């Protein structure tokens, strides 16, 4: 079995999005309870909150300061779908820092792979704006850390959230050292992720999934399109934007995956990059489905 670690901190639950918001604190509680109910006890990776240096590798100084001020002064952010409060600043630093800490633990050989149960999510956050429930782009910040501090030259990012990771694509569109592969529902929010968006040296691959696609279609897309591209890139490290909102019960989705599908998807990619992999929570808004899907994902990580 693989050595699998967990990133989680109770302070990320304190990110308050207000009543009835789908990206709510109970998401993390559901995951942790489901892991406990399944008898899965993973060693925790200690988290160092992200520094300004970490965040500024991806985001502008203006964006960082706007998020800090909005949180600390409890202001309304211009994008109403991405609320934040006084405790959101620490949660956002922990989420981004947790992704970095996970990568550091794998690079240092403590773990083979790590699952990051973090919020707020990140893949919609662009250089100069928060959107789609995301304040900072956790996975992009982690990838830039791998380049800057671990000296890695070829990093792959696989995003299987139901929504296209527009912020992640933007961050690496002109970087031939990062391959970004996204499977996402089309048409759907945020309206990006077209096949003709290819990036530097064809290092962006967008795979659009029609509404109502099920396990057979998703696994075929992985086998026939995503995995050949990932394997051909020969990455030194694999990052996964693990959204579970493609589950058939998800209220914001439109896909027909089962919880077990995430185990099949995970097993197909754990052998890439020499097994060095960090997955980072993105979407997933039906609490029971989120919990069972995360359990299946973690079991597959443990299988290596």
Mean pLDDT of 43-67: 99
pLDDT confidence of residue 279: 99
259 within 8 A of 295, measured Cβ to Cβ = yes
Residue 137: DSSP 8-state: -
Summarize pLDDT for 231-280 with one digit per residue, the tens.
Answer: 999 999 999 999 999 999 999 999 999 999 999 999 999 999 999 999 99
Pick the catalytic residue from 15, 63, 123, 124.
124
Q: How far apart are CA 184 and CA 255, in angstroms?
A: 9
Tell me the residue length of the chain.
304
Instruction: From 121, 174, 175, 148, select the one nearest 56 (Cα to Cα).
Output: 148
The top-level CATH class assigned to 4-303 is alpha beta
Q: How far apart are CA 224 and CA 220, in angstroms?
A: 6
Summarize pLDDT for 68-108 with one digit per residue, the tens.
Answer: 999 999 999 988 999 999 999 999 999 999 999 999 999 99
Mean pLDDT of 32-38: 99
91 within 8 A of 50, measured Cβ to Cβ = no
264 is catalytic: no
pLDDT confidence of residue 264: 99
């Amino acid at each position: 079995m693989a050595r699998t670690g967990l990133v989680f901190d109770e302070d990320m639950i304190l990110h308050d999005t207000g009543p009835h918001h789908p990206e709510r604190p109970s998401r993390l509680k559901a995951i942790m309870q489901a892991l406990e109910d399944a008898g899965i006890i993973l060693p925790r990776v200690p988290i160092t909150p992200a520094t300004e240096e970490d965040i500024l590798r991806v985001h502008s100084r203006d964006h960082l300061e706007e998020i800090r001020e909005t949180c600390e002064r409890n202001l309304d952010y211009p994008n109403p779908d991405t609320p934040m409060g006084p405790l959101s600043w620490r949660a956002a630093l922990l989420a981004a820092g947790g992704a970095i800490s996970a990568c550091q633990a794998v690079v240092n050989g403590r773990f083979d792979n790590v699952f990051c149960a973090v919020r707020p999510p990140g893949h919609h956050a662009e250089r100069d704006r928060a959107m789609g429930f995301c304040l900072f782009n956790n996975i992009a910040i982690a990838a830039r850390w791998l380049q800057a501090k671990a000296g890695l030259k070829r990093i792959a990012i696989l995003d299987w959230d139901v929504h296209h990771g527009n912020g992640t694509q933007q961050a690496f569109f002109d970087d031939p050292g990062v391959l970004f592969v996204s499977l996402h529902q089309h048409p759907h929010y945020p309206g990006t992720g077209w096949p003709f968006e290819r990036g530097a040296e064809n290092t962006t691959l967008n795979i659009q999934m029609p509404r109502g696609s099920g396990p057979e279609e998703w696994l075929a897309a992985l086998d026939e399109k995503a995995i050949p591209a990932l394997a051909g890139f020969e990455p030194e490290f694999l990052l996964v934007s693990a959204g579970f909102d493609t589950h058939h019960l998800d209220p914001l989705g439109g896909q027909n995956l089962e919880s077990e599908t995430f185990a099949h998807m995970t097993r197909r990619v754990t052998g890439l990059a020499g097994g060095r992999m960090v997955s980072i929570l993105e979407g997933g808004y039906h609490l029971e489905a989120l919990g069972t899907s995360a359990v299946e994902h973690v079991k597959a990580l443990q299988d290596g």
